[in-house]
Amino acid sequence: MATAGDPAPAAVAPYATVLAHLARPSDAARVVGALLGLPRRMARHVAGLALATSPDAERLLAAMPQMIRSLAIATTDRAERCYGELRGPVLWSETVSARTASAGDPGLYVCATTAKAYDTDENRVLKAALAAVARAAGDVDPASPLGAGAHRSPRRARANGQAAAHLLEHRTLADVPVTRVRPRALQRTRAGNRRATYEPAVALVRRAAQPLTADLLAGVADAPTTTQVAVLAAVLDAWPTTAPRPELRTSHGALVAGPIRYEHLTGTTVDGRPVPSAAVAPAIVAGAGYATT
């Protein structure tokens, strides 16, 4: 496989077509492995490099100093034992029970106190975004030139990963769990009154669902692989607009969308019929009963 340089537009275009037909979310490493025929470790490296050095990752990390100062905060009420002072409204039922259990101490009160809480939907989205960058960087092989370029290097990926990992431990975010982002939480963050503040985190979460770029894949692939991918792209382009749009998913090392199947070793088939070249793709699609429009 080649290292990523500046591939010609003609080489990039087929990868752009394939990525446009990927189902979301997708496992980027599995997609790279199926499309380019890379071993799992190398595929994870390429996928990790794509996300950890992406413009969205750079923008998120650059925005973090301001975001940390503008985090969404919720308030929670909790019962707290107070001795000789009142820190909030007295909870008399709890106070009587507490005094009974402590030999009737008249200076004991149970008060409702208010505390700040950073465990909000917005901060869960933010922490998920930072965790995605840190995980992606962890998949990057610092000694591998695969996929490296002027603005996309293992060194840069590792630096971004370390910055994200450090921010995950910030005192304001330490108690916010790293969880899978629920669609409802993402929607609240996108539509909330702090949407401008959290927009870089939302963009990163969306990028993480499919971080690959056509120029990266074209730069990594060798010439025979690009020829094979061009055949798959030709089949996708020839697919009739009146039929459901093909959505590629990984399956046992292949990319599959209904009757369309791509394997790195054997190329593209439609209903089991091989497609030997991009030029004959429209005829084979039509011959299989899927008339082009």
Distance CA(232)–CA(35), nearest Å, equals 10
Amino acid 53: pLDDT: 97
167-175: which pairs have CB atoms within 8 A and are 24 or more residues apart?
Answer: 167/61, 167/64, 167/68, 167/130, 168/127, 168/130, 168/131, 168/134, 170/68, 172/68, 172/71, 172/118, 173/71, 173/118, 173/123, 173/126, 173/127, 173/130, 175/118, 175/119
Q: Take residue 38 and report the two structure tokens written for it.
A: 């890379």
Amino acid 56: pLDDT: 97
51: nearest Cα among 250, 205, 185 = 205
Helix axis angle for 40-52 and 28-36, nearest 10°, is 120
Distance CA(124)–CA(182), nearest Å, equals 9
CA angle 127, 181, 63 (to 5 degrees): 35
What phi and psi, each to the nearest 5 degrees, are found at residue 238?
Answer: -85, -10
**Given CA atoms 248, 252, 258, 260 in this order, what sign does their dihedral have?**
positive
Amino acid 9: pLDDT: 83
Name residue 274's beta-bridge partners: 269
Amino acid 290: pLDDT: 66
Residue 16's alpha-carbon distances to 9, 11, 55, 100, 229, in angstroms, are: 10, 10, 18, 72, 10
Distance CA(211)–CA(141), nearest Å, equals 17
Segments of the chain scoring below 50 in pLDDT = 2-4
Q: Which residue has tokens 């009757």? A: 259
pTM: 0.81
Amino acid 17: pLDDT: 97
Amino acid 3: pLDDT: 46
- What's the first-to-final CA gap in the chain, in angstroms? 36
